[in-house]
Amino acid sequence: MITISAQFRLQCLGFFRNSRSLFFTVAFPIALALLFGIANEHESMPFQGTSTTVEYASWTALGLSAYVLLMGGFVKVAGDIASQRESGLLKRIRLRGSSDAAVLAGYVLAGLLVSIVCLVLLLAASVLFLKLPAPVHPGGVILVGVGGAILCTTIGLAYSAFIPSAEASQMLLLVPTLILMFLSGVFEPDWLVPDTLRDIGSFFPVQYLADAARSQWLGVDLIHSTINGDSVTVGSAQGLSILVGHGLWVCLAWFVVSLVAAARFFRWDARVSR
């Protein structure tokens, strides 16, 4: 436990001392939420089948929770491992007597903490400045946040094995993250995304995480919504039961595959495995 704690502190300190990481994980999503909220002030989403009015600002802010989870978990964990592997730090830590499990646990726990803290900051800023209402199902919001953080850090751990160098990490991490944001209806409503692109996005967990967070917070079932041209038919979110469905199985599949890939392909040195 002492070794895990040391690795955890090391990774956390590295993140909070990195101004670029702080900007893109903490400040950038809050700025986006505020910009979208101000630009679409008092606009409501065209939801049918429910008496609940959902402001565009609230819908966007909650969708950005998926971005925060990706940045704090997927991008941070994979990027840190790739960078420290190339510098030799990852191997030196391992050779100092730290067990493999303790080293990796330090990365994962730091990713979880960063993801959850940044998510709380985003939601707190949205409540203060965008008048985001109180969550209808707070337990469900916590479950989605923690589960999403675990999923994204696990994917980051596995994905790090396929990053050839620290120089390539930014392109191989930030570009897919931003593309997934557009495919998954985070920056713009799902029904404005072409059907083909939306179908591609459905193979990834981002769309589900965003809609799950919105559904649990707002009390509107966006997970099982039906798109009808320029409007969307939704139902009321009845607690945790709405989380069960296609999106949940997609997330579980990504989690299992990531665990297997991490166990099979994880590398400690900068040499490309053959």
DSSP, res 268: S
Query: Residues 54-88: pLDDT tens digits?
Result: 888 888 999 999 999 999 999 999 998 988 888 88
Q: Where are the domains of the chain?
A: 2-43+56-265
Entry pTM: 0.88
Percent over 90 (pLDDT), the chain = 31
pLDDT of 194-246, one tens digit each? Answer: 888 888 988 999 999 998 999 899 888 888 777 776 667 877 767 777 787 88
User: Cβ contacts of residue 210 below 8 Å, gap of 6+?
Assistant: 62, 63, 65, 66, 184, 185, 186
| DSSP character string of 155-187 | HHHHHGGG---HHHHHHHHHHHHHHHHHHTTSS
| The pLDDT of residue 11 is above 80 | no
Query: What are the tens digits of pLDDT across the range 252-261?
Result: 999 999 999 9
The per-residue pLDDT for range 133-164, each reduced to its tens digit, is 999 899 999 999 999 999 999 999 999 989 98
Q: Give residue 233's pLDDT.
A: 80
